[in-house]
Amino acid sequence: MRKFNTENIPMPKITEFELPTLPLDVEIGCGVGLHPIQYAISNPNRYLVAIEHTTDKFKKFERRFTKHGNPQNLLPVHENGISWVTHLLPKESVSRFFFLFPNPNPKPGQQNKRFHAMPFMEKVIECLRPNGTIHVATNELFYAEESMEFMTNVWNLECVHNTIIEKDSEHIGRTHFERKYLERGQVIYDQIFRKKD
């Protein structure tokens, strides 16, 4: 894997972030924000930064955020997650990263666009605290298999959770994409990787 070079990564628009006192979690590519809102409400003792770079989706997320009374432990960020994490997070500051239904970029020449295969993953892991986790969910079997291979063999993380989710009365979906895939009868590959101590 090529070394991650921060000099190639553009600066985010807002160049300051004060670390919260609560445990910090970061979601990259949160879409219209269903998961961040639910997560922040059900985890009042954690702080989530939820990042989305597509303007239309971020605007819907902001509206949802306002509708739910601006949860104080959630920061919606309209930005490229790679820029934001690279330039604003110190080492070992994050407890949990979430990559929920990242664009699979399925064409053969697109592997370098999948998060687990990017040099950027080195930075993500550097920002994780020891025992911190990276949560990946996808509806694509090839993506799940490749993620498992990279996360454990290239990045030396421990897989602590690897399950298949199907639609049932308990699970209607944590995100809009997950709901869509479950409605179609597809299964979800759900993986959590831990940074070794």
Among 87, 129, 176, 194, binds ligand SAM (CB under 6 A): 176
Q: Give CA 157 to chain center in angstroms.
A: 16
Question: Per-residue x/- marks for ligand SAM, 56-85, CB under 6 A?
Answer: -x----------------------xxx---
Q: Report which of 186, 155, 173 is spatially closest to residue 100, judged by C-alpha positions.
A: 173
Task: Pick from 4, 50, 52, 127 the residue near ligand SAM by CB under 6 A.
Answer: 52
Q: Does 147 bind ligand SAM (CB under 6 A)?
A: no
Q: Could you tell me which of 96, 104, 181, 193 has the C-alpha nearest to residue 143?
A: 104
CB nearer to ligand SAM: give 78 or 195.
Answer: 78
Q: What residue number has its CB nearest to ligand SAM? A: 29
Residue 101 as a binder of ligand SAM (CB under 6 A): the answer is: yes
* Contact flag: residue 26 with ligand SAM (CB under 6 A): no
CA distance 177 to 68: 21
C-alpha torsion angle, residues 128, 129, 132, 133 (rounded to 10): 0
Min dist. Cβ of residue 21 to ligand SAM (A)? 25
Which has the closest alpha carbon to 65: 83, 88, 41, 47? 41
Is residue 138 a contact point for ligand SAM (CB under 6 A)?
no
